[in-house]
Structure formats: C-alpha cells, structure tokens
Amino acid sequence: LAEALAYLNGRRVPASQACLPVYDSGVVLGAAVTEQTRTFCKQLYRLEEHLERFLDSVRCLRIDLPIGKDELAGVSRELVAHNAALLPDGGELGLIQFATPGPYAGYAGMSLAAAAAGPTICVHTFPLPFARWAAAMRHGAHLITPPTRHVPPRCYDPKIKARSRLHFYLAEQEARLVDPKAWALLLDLDGNVAEGAGANFLIVKGGVIESPPPTNILPGVSKATVMELAARLGIAFQERTLQVYDVEAADEAFLTSTPYCLVPVTRVNGRAIGDGRPGRIYHRLLEAWSKAVDVDIQRQILDAERR
C-alpha cells in the first residue's frame, strides 16, 4: 500500500520513518519552531503567509536554515500532492513544517553523524481529525481558565511559533479536570485573557469582534483571516485587554485556528456565554469563510461524525 511521504533534512522519506534522534535539540530542549497549514479541497491555504511567519520564527532562534522559502513551498506542495491522494473521501490535510538547531551539543559524543549535522528541518502532513471537533462545532466549546499561565514574552515570545509548549499541555489537563470535554483558555501573568492552547480567542460584544492585544499571543493567520472577513462583512474589529469578566459578559465567543478555522465557544468556567448557543456573527464569519474557500467548513467537520 502507498504510504504518505515526509521531508526530512533534504530527503523524502515514508512518513513512518520521519523521526528525530533523541539527541536533537528539538527533543532535548523543545528548541524548535513550527508552522501549520491546511488544505481546502486538497490545496494549501495561505501557504505564503505561514511560511513568512515560519521564517520569522526561524530567525528568532538564529537557526541558519539550509532551504529557502520558495524551496520550502515547493516541498510542501509536493508532499500535499502526493499525500492527499491517499486521503479518504472528504478528507483534508494538515501540513507541518518545523525546524530545530540540530543536535544538542551537550550530547555531542553520542553520534559521529551528529557532529557534522546542521539544523533539522522537516515537513510532514496528517489527515485533519474532523471528528475531534464535531461536538464543539455543533454545540460550542466549553472553555476553562486553568491556573497554569501563559509564558510571558520576557521568557520566550508567544509570537514565535515555538514548540516549548509544556504550559499548553498542562493547561489542557487542568481544563479537563473540570470538564473532560473542556478546552483551555490561557490567562497571562496578570490574569488577562491570552489565547487557547493552539488557537486565538475572540469575543463579540455589542456587534464588535474583540481580540486580546497582540502583545503576548500568536499573530494567527486565521485571526488575520477573521479580520479580513469581518472587514468585508462590515463588522467592526478591535484589540483590547480582555479579562474573564469580559468573556462571561460577551455576546459570543470563538476560537480560531488553522485546522478547524472557527469553533464557537458557548460556555466559560461553567457559565453560558450569551444564550449559550453559537452566535449570529460566528455564523456569518463561518459562512463567509466557507464561501471564500468554496468548502462548507462546518458540514465538512460535522460529516466526520457520521463516519
């Protein structure tokens, strides 16, 4: 049977062989940056913007990448072309790029190969797990603000899409203590709303979409898409410091992230937001997005439940 391909340090390899030696800095220190793109109708969406942000992240770690943006784009498209063909009907791909500084110097003696190695660069894909999001898509997600706080930019900037995200992992575990289906909404050190564990968070109040300021959240490509769609639909968008009170008092709320685009949020810390159902502006945005990519985003996800 055919197997998906991945790209690792200049070579195409079967996906099952895409792995990192245990002495790689990405494994040892979580010193890695990454990017995630998805397909619509098996075509990569906004690849260019994702790659630009990737190169910004790469530069922040001072990684001297042996492959340029155009080549990365080519590899990415090539993998998608090959791997999408293996998808089941209605499937789409997520595409990951990541890079690390390469072997960790402290284990230098571990491997002769390592001595000569430069940075690690990998591209791989995975089928978007629509079924994971169907319940939240239908009824709205329940967000919990866990005690674990977002890492502040003074330590490493959340604007870098880095992989030292243990706090995301812990926050999600804490959220699930309250509700096994809950998602985490991380607060920053001052208790202000930051972002989900891998998603930007937005509320709607009085007809205006509101986002936490860009100071310590990922500058999300999906968030930028929401801003464009809002502008097109004549919906105001503003950035301001948000706190749990603002979320509780919001008319609507949603998470936005590359793999699922927009998931409605209907509860926070056990309390309903607005009337407790996905809101009107959420639906308008999702509809506009669906049109823009010529895919019914919601149906694609909900259909996965039936399979």
The answer to whether 96 contacts a copy of itself (rule: CB under 8 A) is: yes
CB of 164 to a copy of itself, least distance (A): 4
Give me the residue label for tokens 């930051």: 194
**In sequence order, what DSSP letters do the residues of 201-214 get, joined into one string?**
EEEEETTEEEE--G
Measured from the CB atom, is 275 or 291 closer to a copy of itself? Answer: 275
Q: Using only C-alpha atoms, what is the Rg of the chain? A: 20
CB of 1 to a copy of itself, least distance (A): 11
- What is the rounded distance in angstroms from the CA atom of residue 228 to the CA atom of residue 234? 10
Mask for 113-152, x = binds a copy of itself (CB under 8 A) = x--------x-xxxxxx--x------------xxxxxxxx
Measured from the CB atom, is 154 or 306 closer to a copy of itself? Answer: 154
Sole binder of a copy of itself in the list 10, 74, 118, 191 (CB under 8 A): 191
SS3 117: coil
Q: How many CB atoms lie within 10 A of CB 156?
A: 15
Choose the stretch contacting a copy of itself; rule: CB under 8 A; options: 42-50, 166-174, 223-231, 295-303: 166-174
The answer to whether 9 contacts a copy of itself (rule: CB under 8 A) is: no
Measured from the CB atom, is 115 or 287 closer to a copy of itself? Answer: 115
CB of 299 to a copy of itself, least distance (A): 19
The answer to whether 102 contacts a copy of itself (rule: CB under 8 A) is: no
Which of positions 64-93 make contact with a copy of itself (CB under 8 A)?
none
Measured from the CB atom, is 60 or 135 closer to a copy of itself? Answer: 60
CA 217 to chain centre: 12
- What is the rounded distance in angstroms from the CA atom of residue 92 to the CA atom of residue 38? 7
CB of 301 to a copy of itself, least distance (A): 14
Q: Are 220 and 256 in contact (CB under 8 A)?
A: yes
Which of positions 220-279 make contact with a copy of itself (CB under 8 A)?
240-241, 243-246, 248-249, 259, 269-271
Instruction: Provide the residue type at 167 as one letter.
Output: H
Q: Which residues of 233-245 are buried (b: 16+ CB within 10 A; e: fewer)?
A: eebebeeeebebe
Choose the stretch contacting a copy of itself; rule: CB under 8 A; options: 71-79, 97-105, 275-283, 287-295: 97-105
**In sequence order, what DSSP letters do the residues of 237-299 get, joined into one string?**
EEE----HHHHHT-SEEEEEETTTEEEEEEEETTEESTTSS--HHHHHHHHHHHHHHTS-HHH
Choose the stretch contacting a copy of itself; rule: CB under 8 A; options: 37-45, 183-191, 200-208, 228-236: 183-191
Mask for 13-52, x = binds a copy of itself (CB under 8 A) = --xx-xxxxxx-xxxxxxxx-x------------------
CB of 17 to a copy of itself, least distance (A): 9
Q: What angle do CA 152, 155, 159 make, to 5 degrees?
A: 60
Q: How many CB atoms lie within 10 A of CB 113?
A: 10
Measured from the CB atom, is 143 or 230 closer to a copy of itself? Answer: 143
The answer to whether 178 contacts a copy of itself (rule: CB under 8 A) is: yes
Kindly tell me the burial class for residue 265, based on how many C-beta atoms sit within 10 Å of its own C-beta (0-12, 13-18, 19 or more). buried
The answer to whether 58 contacts a copy of itself (rule: CB under 8 A) is: no
